[in-house]
Chain A
Amino acid sequence: MKINKTDLTAISRLLFCVAFLALSSAAFAQSGGELRFCLRAEPKTFDPLLVDDDSSLSIRYLTGGVLVRLNRHTQELEPQLAESWKLSKDGKQIIFKLRSGVAFSDGSPFSADDVAFTMQRLMDPALHSSTGDAFRSGSGAVTTKIMAPDQIAITFPAPIAGLDRLFDQVAIMSAHSPKKEAAVLGPFMVGEYKAGSSLLLRRNPNYWKKDSQGRRLPYLDSIRLDIQSNRDVEMLRFKRGELDLINVIDSDYFDRLAASSPGLAHDAGASLDSDFMWFNEVAAAPIPEYKRAWFRSTNFRRAVSEAINRDDLSRVVFNGHAQPAVGPVSPANKFWFDSKLKADPYRPDDALKLLQADGFRLQNGALFDKAGNAVEFSIVTNASSKPRERMAVMVQEDLGKLGIKVNVVTLDFPSLIERISQKFNYEAAMLGFRNVDLDPNGQMNIWLSSAEDHAWNPQQKAPETAWEAEIDRLMRAQASAADPKKRKESFDRVQEIVAEQAPFIYLVNQNALSAVSSAVQGADPGILSPQTFWNAERITLNPTTRASR
Chain B
Amino acid sequence: MTRARKLACVVVLVVCVTSAAANWIAPSGYAKQFRETPDAPPSHQHLLGTDEVGRDRFARVLYGTRISLLLAPAAALVSTALAALVGGLAGYLGGFWLRLARGFTDLFLSLPWLFLLITVRALLPLNVSPLTSVLITFLILGLLGWAASARVLSTSADALRNSDFILQARASGLHGPRLFLIHVLPNLTPVLYAQFWISIPVFILSEANLGILGLGVAEPLPSWGSLLRELEGLISFREEPWRLVPLLLLIVVMTSFQLLLSNEEVTA
Contacts and interface: CB of A to CB of B under 8 A. Distances in A.
Interface of A: 231-232, 235-236, 252-253, 256, 312, 315-317, 376-378, 380, 383-384, 386, 389-390, 392-394, 396-397, 407-412, 415, 419, 425-427
B127 A378 contact: yes
Contacts of B103: none
Given A316-B35, A390-B52, A393-B219, A415 B235 contact: no
Given A376-B127, A407-B128, A409-B126, A253 B52 contact: no
Q: A-B pairs with the 4 shortest C-beta distances? A: A383-B214, A415-B122, A410-B214, A378-B126
Contact of A389 (B31, B133, B219): B219
Contacts of A393: 33, 53, 219-220
Interface in B122-171: 122, 126-130, 133
B215 A390 contact: no
Size band of the interface chain B makes with A: 20 to 34
Nearest to B115: A412
B52 A316 contact: yes
Nearest to B128: A407
Contacts of B4: none
11 contacts: A252-B233, A315-B35, A316-B38, A317-B52, A392-B219, A393-B33, A394-B53, A396-B220, A407-B133, A407-B218, A408-B218
Contact of A316 (B54, B118, B213): B54
A377 B118 contact: no
B214 A389 contact: yes
Contacts, number: 75
Interface string B15-58: 00000000000000001010100100000000000001110000
A316 B36 CA distance: 8
A377 B33 contact: no
Interface in B196-239: 213-215, 218-220, 232-233, 235
Contacts of A317: 52-53
Contacts of B133: 407
Contacts of B122: 411-412, 415
A236 B126 contact: no
A383 B235 contact: no
Given A378-B126, A410-B218, A411-B122, 19 more contacts: A232-B233, A235-B235, A253-B233, A256-B235, A316-B33, A316-B54, A376-B127, A378-B127, A383-B215, A394-B33, A394-B53, A396-B219, A396-B220, A407-B126, A407-B128, A412-B122, A415-B119, A415-B122, A425-B126
A477 to B, nearest CB: 39
Contact of B33 (A253, A397, A412): A397
Contacts of B118: 412, 415
B233 to A, nearest CB: 6
Interface of B: 31, 33, 35, 38, 52-54, 118-119, 122, 126-130, 133, 213-215, 218-220, 232-233, 235
A380 B126 contact: yes
A457 B159 CA distance: 63
B8 to A, nearest CB: 34
A409 B214 CA distance: 9
B238 to A, nearest CB: 13
Contacts of B38: 316
A440 B237 CA distance: 46
A407 B129 contact: yes
| Residue in A232, A253, A315, A393 whose Cβ sees the most chain B Cβ within 10 Å | A393
B127 A427 contact: yes
A419 B133 CA distance: 19
A315 B220 CA distance: 20
A383 B53 contact: no
Most buried by B among A315, A377, A396, A407: A407
Given A392-B219, A396-B219, A412-B122, A232 B53 contact: no
Given A316-B52, A394-B33, A426 B214 contact: no
Contact of A412 (B53, B128, B215): B215
Contacts of B215: 383, 410-412
A365 to B, nearest CB: 14
A377 B126 CA distance: 9
A431 to B, nearest CB: 14
A289 B125 CA distance: 17
A226 B130 CA distance: 42
A144 to B, nearest CB: 49
Nearest to A391: B53
B219 A232 contact: no
A376 B128 CA distance: 10
Nearest to A410: B214
B127 to A, nearest CB: 5
Contacts of B235: 232, 235-236, 256
A380 B125 CA distance: 11
A307 to B, nearest CB: 15
A206 B184 CA distance: 85
A377 B127 contact: yes
Nearest to A250: B233
A450 B218 CA distance: 35
B126 A386 contact: no
Contacts of A394: 33, 35, 53
A111 to B, nearest CB: 51
Contacts of A376: 127
B226 to A, nearest CB: 10
Contacts of B129: 407
Nearest to A387: B52
